[in-house]
Structure 1
Amino acid sequence: MRLYLLTLLFIPVLSYGFEPLNTDDAGTVKKSSNQIEQYFFKTATHGHNTVSSKSSQIITPGEEYFGVSQAQAFPFTYTRGLTENIEASIGASYFATPRGSYSPISNKVIAIKWRFLEAEDGQWALAIKPSLTLPGTGQQQVSGIGLALPNYGVNLIGSHYLGDIEIHVNASYTKSLYNTNYLIATGPPENRTNIIFASVAPVWKVSKSIKLALDTGLETNPPISQQYLSNYALLATIISINDDLDLGLSYMRSAANMGVVFGGTGISASRSDIGFTWRFQ
């Protein structure tokens, strides 16, 4: 029961765009150019470690992890600019923890982003990003590092650029299917498969080489027996080493409501990220 109550659920936002944020931006990689995003994340739980009655499970958006133990993984994404406003990406995560008699590589995602509308002065843009998550194995689903059926979804992205301030908004839907012949880690036998996600992320350009971001949002809580939505807040720093290389760091906390997220009391989950984004021809 204790493990069940403290299960961590990491639901994908369909992509690893604009690392280390959860919220993607409407920008695309330049035509015939390439981008690599390589990150490392570590999760943790906070609050009571024993609960006498059922409570809401905790969702931490950004990575697809359903396990009960602490996770450490290396998400990787390669993106190629196909045209001036269309990019294609492939991504996967290598789980260092947990490990078992299954492949540690999971969350294999294929996505295309199309920036279909933008202002002539470049102050705003809209993009749409459909994606497909390839199925994992039954043992990966049982261990909590993936789902054993293909998932698909679409993300609608809006970005507003105001000099040193950017504001990015996401609204996405995912059909989160799973193999009902297997449990999803130690979670309940039935999960919601229609997952919605909404977020907003203001980004401030503090200097020529440093950006700060506050990323907040809400997402569907998969267990049917639990509350419908959960909340998160993320703080991030993006440091531009040069025109082609960025270093990103972030810390995110998620819980049943924003009071717990910002107040620090009650059951919550956190994720710490560090990594880089490299752009090249």
Structure 2
Amino acid sequence: MRSILIMLGLLPLAAEAAHPLYTDDTGTQGAGGWQLELNADRNLQRDGSPATMLGNATLTFGATDTLDAFVSASWLRQWDGESSRQGAGDVALGVKWRALESGGFALALKPAVQLPTGSREAGLGNGQAFYSLGLIASWSGEDWMLMANAGAAYLTADTGNRKRIYSVAGGGFYRVTPTVRLAGELVSYSSSDLAQSEDPAFATLGLIYSPADTLDFDVGIRAGLNDAIFRSSFGAGVTWRW
């Protein structure tokens, strides 16, 4: 259950980010533009507990050239080879505003709220609402982009856990052909569990194939960097813009 809740806690951070990355960039859809992202990730645990699958759908609308609004919903499944449980997870709502742009450098703000729509008792949700604010910076060239994210979240319920969560992430893309980009990142964030001495951290390596300007396919692998998170994770997704 712990790894499920860890991944759910990253929903606001991951929403709008180019899967398989959790690190977001400052790009927006443009006024009137739409984007639909569908992806799934299978997480393998360190302690031999059941594997988990986290599916996610994010719909984004470009309210202006520099402001996006998004809604992100999740679906979870956990199984041990003999039985399984599944259901809807938490939902995140938010906006991304590109506040500054100069040459290849840009800054954006990303406030969001995560709603406790998934059942915590069933291991499908965090069981509490929380608010988050992310700061996004990006530097881009003709064939590359670097991104840095810093975020803070406030948990609303008094459950005996840490109520303020902080996250940092850094990643980038490199275009190897006109239709293929390599992606990579490092992510770390504070655990909500006061008894947890380690902050969860993981690394991601992925590939994005874009047969058209409006369509992306991606695959990626993540490796947990300590015992506070999954051992490894494999994912794939598709993104459509119109």
| TM-score, scaled to structure 2 | 0.88
1:229 aligns with 2:228: no
Q: Which residue of 1 aligns with 2:240?
A: 278
Alignment of 1:93-132 (within 5 A): 93-97=74-78, 100=85, 104-119=87-102, 121=103, 123-132=104-113
Q: Give, in angstroms, the shift of residue 96 of structure 1.
A: 3.5
Q: Give, in angstroms, the shift of residue 175 of structure 1.
A: 1.3
Q: Give, in angstroms, the shift of residue 271 of structure 1.
A: 1.6
Distance in 1, Cα, partners of 2:123 & 2:223: 20
Q: Give, in angstroms, the shift of residue 73 of structure 1.
A: 2.8
Look up the SS of the partner of 2:120 in the other structure.
helix
Question: Among residues 119, 139, 162, which one is paired with 2:141 in the alignment?
Answer: 162
Q: Which residue of 2 aligns with 1:90?
A: 71
Look up the SS of the partner of 2:200 in the other structure.
strand
Change (3 A) 1:179 1:104: farther
Aligned residues: CA RMSD: 2.2
Alignment of 1:128-277 (within 5 A): 128-136=109-117, 140-178=119-157, 180=159, 190-256=160-226, 268-277=230-239
Change (3 A) 1:167 1:42: same
Amino acid paired to 1:128:
L
Change (3 A) 1:106 1:230: closer
Amino acid paired to 1:277:
T
Distance in 1, Cα, partners of 2:180 & 2:148: 21
Distance in 2, Cα, partners of 1:84 & 1:220: 33
Q: 5+ residue gaps in structure 1? A: 50-67, 181-189, 261-266
Conservation of the 8 A alpha-carbon contact between 1:236 and 1:251: yes
Q: Give, in angstroms, the shift of residue 86 of structure 1.
A: 0.2
Distance in 2, Cα, partners of 1:130 & 1:207: 34
Per-residue Cα deviation, 1:95-149 (whole angstroms, up to 9, x for no partner):
243665xx81122010100000001x3x111000000111235xx1122221222
Q: Which residue of 2 aligns with 1:16?
A: 15
Conservation of the 8 A alpha-carbon contact between 1:231 and 1:254: yes
Q: Give, in angstroms, the shift of residue 152 of structure 1.
A: 0.8
| TM-score, scaled to structure 1 | 0.77
Distance in 1, Cα, partners of 2:202 & 2:76: 23
Distance in 2, Cα, partners of 1:77 & 1:194: 25
Look up the SS of the partner of 1:195 in the other structure.
strand
Distance in 1, Cα, partners of 2:197 & 2:58: 32
Conservation of the 8 A alpha-carbon contact between 1:13 and 1:172: no
Amino acid paired to 1:74:
G
Amino acid paired to 2:126:
L
Q: Give, in angstroms, the shift of residue 228 of structure 1.
A: 4.5
Which structure: larger Rg? 1
